[in-house]
Amino acid sequence: MNFGQFLLRRLFLMIIVLFGVACIVFFIANIIPADPVGAILGGNAPPEAINRLKAKLGYDQPLIIRFGNFIAGALRGDFGVSLKTSNPVMKDIMNYFPATMELAIVAIIISIFLGITLGVLSAVHRNKAIDQFSRIFSILGVSMPVFWIGLLLLLVFYFKLGWLPGGGRLGFFTYPPPRVTGMYLIDSALAGQWDTFKEALLHILLPAFVLGYNATASIARITRASMLDVLKQDFIRTAKSKGLKRNVVIYRHALRNSMIPTITIIGLVFGGLLEGAVLTETVFSWPGLGRYITTGMLFLDYPAVMGGTLYIAFIYSLANLIVDILYALLDPRMRM
């Protein structure tokens, strides 16, 4: 299979996945016993007002017609109008998504740095204290709930020690930087507002660590396993026998050849960070897409929930596609 066929196959599979997500999200939102029209107008609304709003929102049409309209709109990037904000859902997504993307980017940077460092140290110092620490750290990362870690770190670093701020992206009396990307760190740096940049960085550290903790554990485990496998290879023994320095053998030869599995898991967990930001954003009052979807669920804002969920599924599938392409370029055997 050549690279073009490989890419077309992955694109086709991505389309199937997105269509399946759209079907599941739509039918769950329309089957659950809840009435968004009644939630908007209240229980004492007259039947005429209820019927008019149902007709306006399209809820008076058959389910299959509404599904077709939803798919057609999604293909155009139109998810309807939010019942809570009265804005087009796509406009709300573009307002909230930069905060989620910024949080995920900082989280993946922290995860890559800590995960690869712990993985390499664990493999090099196998069964020693640093290896035992890395194992415990990884087990806790994959087993503890995100919201519990967030509340615990808030209790320690915000309430007790006062080293880091609590929720939100900036302090209450700080104005956001001029909007360019919607990411405060980038926008404040572009505007030269370094005090705002520092404040935004301090606000993002706790939620980014909490969001990326699970990813850090996964990266550390994969890096350790891959490094241990590479360190047993003949070319490593040859490099050592030539008298190369230990750090050269580890970082130039062993680490470079063990990075393919790590690159794969990094791409996968980055998509997972976008998906798993809901709890983190709720705990830290982070005004991102996850919190927007959560609020939509509480207010029975089905267009917001369906549009936001499908958008996150698209980003997640796109991240997987990019990882598949990079993997196929690095290892042609994957195309088979």
Q: Give the span between the Cα atoms of 279 and 59, in whole angstroms.
A: 30
Phi-psi region of 62 (alpha: psi -120 to 50; beta: other; left: phi over 0): beta
pLDDT for the residue 40: 65
pLDDT for the residue 270: 78
Give the count of domains, the chain.
2
Question: Is the domain of 120 the same as that of 243?
Answer: yes
Question: Is the domain of 18 the same as that of 105?
Answer: no
Question: Is the domain of 24 the same as that of 151?
Answer: no
Question: Is the domain of 173 the same as that of 122?
Answer: yes
Q: Strands, DSSP E only, in 25-137?
A: none
User: What is the domain extent for residue 234?
Assistant: 94-335
pLDDT for the residue 261: 78
Share of residues in the chain with pLDDT > 70 (%): 84
Question: Is the domain of 112 the same as that of 63?
Answer: no
Task: Please give the helix or strand (H or E) that residue 69 lies within, else none.
Answer: helix 63-75
Question: Is the domain of 258 the same as that of 228?
Answer: yes
Q: Is the pLDDT of residue 222 over 70?
A: yes
Which residues, including other chains, have CB under 8 Å from residue 271's CB and lie 6 or more apart?
A: 315, 316, 317, 318, 319, 320
Share of residues in the chain with pLDDT > 90 (%): 1
Note whether residue 85 is domain-resident: no
Separation of CA 3 from chain center: 28
Note whether residue 81 is domain-resident: no
Residue 22 pLDDT grade (very low, low, confident, very high; cuts 50, 70, 90): confident
DSSP 3-state of 327: helix
Pick the last residue of a domain from 42, 75, 108.
75
More confident residue, 334 or 322: 322
Note whether residue 84 is domain-resident: no
Q: Which two tokens stand for residue 79?
A: 């998810």
Note whether residue 87 is domain-resident: no
Note whether residue 298 is domain-resident: yes
3-state helix, strand, coil in the chain (%, to 5): 75, 0, 25
Residue-wise pLDDT for 183-196, tens only, equals 889 999 998 888 88
Which residues, including other chains, have CB under 8 Å from residue 329's CB and lie 6 or more apart?
A: 3
Note whether residue 209 is domain-resident: yes
Question: Is the domain of 111 the same as that of 248?
Answer: yes
CB 199 within 8 A of CB 166: no
Question: Is the domain of 144 the same as that of 234?
Answer: yes
Residue 217 pLDDT grade (very low, low, confident, very high; cuts 50, 70, 90): confident
Q: Give the span between the Cα atoms of 234 and 253, in whole angstroms.
A: 12
Note whether residue 231 is domain-resident: yes
Note whether residue 283 is domain-resident: yes
Question: What average pLDDT does this structure show over 159-177?
Answer: 83
Question: Is the domain of 70 the same as that of 100?
Answer: no
Task: State the chain's mean pLDDT as an integer.
Answer: 80
Question: Is the domain of 118 the same as that of 219?
Answer: yes
Residue-wise pLDDT for 30-73, tens only, equals 777 666 666 666 666 667 766 776 777 667 777 788 888 888 88
Angstrom CA distances, 228 to 141, 150, 214, 253, stand at: 21, 32, 21, 13
Residue-wise pLDDT for 257-303, tens only, equals 777 778 777 877 777 777 657 778 888 888 888 888 888 887 777 88
CATH for 292: 1.10.3720.10
Pick the last residue of a domain from 40, 75, 110.
75
Q: Is the pLDDT of residue 171 over 70?
A: yes
Which residues, including other chains, have CB under 8 Å from residue 207's CB and lie 6 or more apart?
A: 103, 107, 150, 280, 281, 283, 284, 286
Q: Is the pLDDT of residue 336 over 60?
A: no
Question: Is the domain of 178 the same as that of 323?
Answer: yes
Which residues, including other chains, have CB under 8 Å from residue 139's CB and lie 6 or more apart?
A: 217
pLDDT for the residue 38: 62
pLDDT for the residue 156: 86
CB 215 within 8 A of CB 142: no
Pick the last residue of a domain from 75, 103, 121.
75
Question: Is the domain of 103 the same as that of 70?
Answer: no
Question: What average pLDDT does this structure show over 308-326?
Answer: 81
